[in-house]
Amino acid sequence: MNNWLPFEWIASVRFLRDGRMQTLFIVSGIAIGVGVIVFMSAMLAGLEANFIKRVLTSQSQIQLLPLDQVARTLRNGKGEFEDAILQRPAQRVLSIDQWPKIRDRMLAMPEVTAVSPTMAGSALAIRGDASRAVTVTGIEPASYFKIVRVPDYLVAGDGRLTSEDVIIGIQLADDLGATLGDKININNAQGIGRVLTITGLIDLGSKGANQRVSFVALRTAQSLLGMIGGVTTIELTVQDIYAAEIIARQISASNQVKAESWIKTNAQFFTAVQAQESSNTLIRVFVGMSVAFGIAAVLVVSVIQRSKDIGILRAMGTRRGQVLRIFLLQGGLLAFIGSLLGSALGAGALTYWHSMARQADGTELFPLILDRNLFVITAMIATVTGLLAATLPALRAARLDPVEAIRG
């Protein structure tokens, strides 16, 4: 007996140790429950982080676009309108008005980490007899590559982008029968074209995207699409990706542009994450409840088994509060030890799963995120659950009539 341990603690530990098998089984049960929670939470966090990383390295977090063009009714005179039925006008490709000023304003915002103007439009890529419709995106490589990591997707070439170069998707290259170093013709709708050299082939992981994507220098795109000096989009990244929507609204409110955040454009992704989190929470609650009921059941049995001990303790002057604490502590201890083992179990299982589950290209399916807070919070919640689960059995033990208890 340690002199610094209180009586209740000593009695709790001894009772747990005395009922070894019972303790072993319930601790294993708690450990499995907590292990499942830790495994699921950590894996979900990893998958989410991975998804966000994938989404955010292939697109900007906020896009600034020219304002939509709207048609207005003709006015005949004061209060008189003609042509009350309005037809929505076709949206012409327009440059963002005063874009250098807006870009500078964006650069000055502390929340914004990167700004890149781009010019995007449709064109025809031609090589020999083959021709394909493509999306031409004119970029400033230095700033654009900070937002969309095009070099990460390169499968061939160095990604150089002077005014005579073009980077295209691998599927497009296949369709045109072209490869690195070949020249292709990019023509606009009016048939005016440029001959560009392929300096990079990229794989965006989607056949559709690989068939249409092409990157050229901003100036090349401006001349190809007939919008010298203009840009159609300003791409932004921000420090806090989850604040993107709020920042987008602020930008819209204070500038003559339409700002769209990644949160809005990927609403489905968020719905999916939310659904996954709800089901995860539900599973956690049910696992937690089964753990709690398990602890309560074991302690109820323990109270019955120990009723003579409780009676004798009461006879020798043990107060009801002390008996209550002995059983509460048992619940807390079971849950705490179970949660420690469960955390190790969950982390071990996740590490194993992480090493086994690979994507087709051999890269990891999800990043291994073992956040210390997850373990601390899990242990805390489990311990509190254990204490709560022990409340009823402990109250029952404390209320035992010593005469009845001793008599059995």
Q: Which residues contact 44 (CB under 8 A, 6 or more apart)?
A: 276, 277, 280
- Between residues 12 and 385, which has the closer beta carbon with respect to another protein? 12
Phi then psi dihedrals of residue 64, to 5 deg: -100, 125
The residue within the footprint of another protein, chosen from 7, 81, 242, 352 (CB under 8 A), is 7
The beta strand positions in 246-357, using DSSP E, are 258-261
Cβ atoms of 194 and 142 within 8 Å: the answer is no
Contact code string over 8-47 relative to another protein, x by CB under 8 A: --xx--xx-xx-----------------------------
State the number of binding residues for another protein (CB under 8 A). 29
Q: How far is the CB of 14 from another protein (least distance, A)?
A: 4
- Between residues 384 and 406, which has the closer beta carbon with respect to another protein? 406
- Between residues 233 and 307, which has the closer beta carbon with respect to another protein? 307
Residue the block writes with tokens 């254990």: 386
Q: How far is the CB of 380 from another protein (least distance, A)?
A: 26
Q: Is the dihedral of CA 374, 38, 23, 294 positive or negative?
A: positive
Neighbours of 392 (CB within 10 A): 15
By CB under 8 A, is residue 328 in contact with another protein? no
Contact code string over 376-405 relative to another protein, x by CB under 8 A: --------------------------xx--
- Between residues 103 and 314, which has the closer beta carbon with respect to another protein? 314
Distance, CA of 319 to CA of 117 (rounded, Å)? 76
By CB under 8 A, is residue 3 in contact with another protein? yes
Distance, CA of 406 to CA of 150 (rounded, Å)? 79
- Between residues 214 and 307, which has the closer beta carbon with respect to another protein? 307
Q: Which of 312, 314, 333, 331 is closest to 399 using CA atoms?
A: 314
Q: How far is the CB of 328 from another protein (least distance, A)?
A: 16
Q: Which residues contact 39 (CB under 8 A, 6 or more apart)?
A: 346, 349, 350, 353
Q: Is 203 exposed, middle or buried (0-12, 13-18, 19+ CB in 10 A)?
A: middle
Contact code string over 304-323 relative to another protein, x by CB under 8 A: ----xx-xxxxxxxxxx-x-
Q: Which of residues 271-310 bind another protein (CB under 8 A)?
A: 308-309
Pick the stretch among 2-10, 56-64, 199-207, 245-253 that binds another protein (CB under 8 A). Answer: 2-10
Which residues of the shown chain bind another protein in the complex (CB under 8 A)?
1-7, 10-11, 14-15, 17-18, 308-309, 311-320, 322, 402-403, 406
